[in-house]
Amino acid sequence: MALYRTYKNGLYAKKYKGYYIVPPKDVENKTWKLLDLELNEVKSGIPSYYDAVWETDKLAADDDETRTIYLLFQKSIPELENIMTDLNDEKQRNGLSQAEEIVMDYTLKVINRKKEKKGL
């Protein structure tokens, strides 16, 4: 499956959580941008696709998810890895609730951002 596609509105992008992630148009401009569904620019100058996904996650997050992201970012990588271990164990035993799946997804993203030394 292709990462990006051309939508009926003519936009070549990836739709994610109610936003369009638009890739660079040329070799010299290596930045992504986010558009809302009305094609208004929300953010530009994003250095990578994964950073664009992260920005979209933050924009689309409700209050609880935003609180979760900030709380996870306060923890160290070993603490985050312990959380992932606990969630994986719980997933194997009983499965995870939707809220736990969201925490697991954000925990993995925060671990990766911290390992890459990227900020919130």
Whether residues 120 and 68 fall in one domain: yes
Residue 54 within a domain: no
Residue 22: domain span: 1-47
Q: Tell me the per-residue pLDDT of 73-86, one tens digit each, with 9 for 90 and over.
A: 999 999 999 999 99
Rounded to the nearest angstrom, the gap between the alpha carbon of residue 84 and the centroid of all alpha carbons in its chain is 17
Number of domains composing the chain: 2
Domain membership of residue 3 (yes or no) is: yes
Please check whether residue 55 lies inside any domain of the structure. no
- Which residues have a Cβ under 8 Å from the Cβ of 48 and sit 6 or more positions away? 32
Cross-strand partners of 6: 12
The pTM of this model reads 0.84
User: Is residue 112 located within the same domain as residue 68?
Assistant: yes
Question: Tens of pLDDT along 19-53?
Answer: 999 999 877 778 999 999 999 999 999 999 999 99
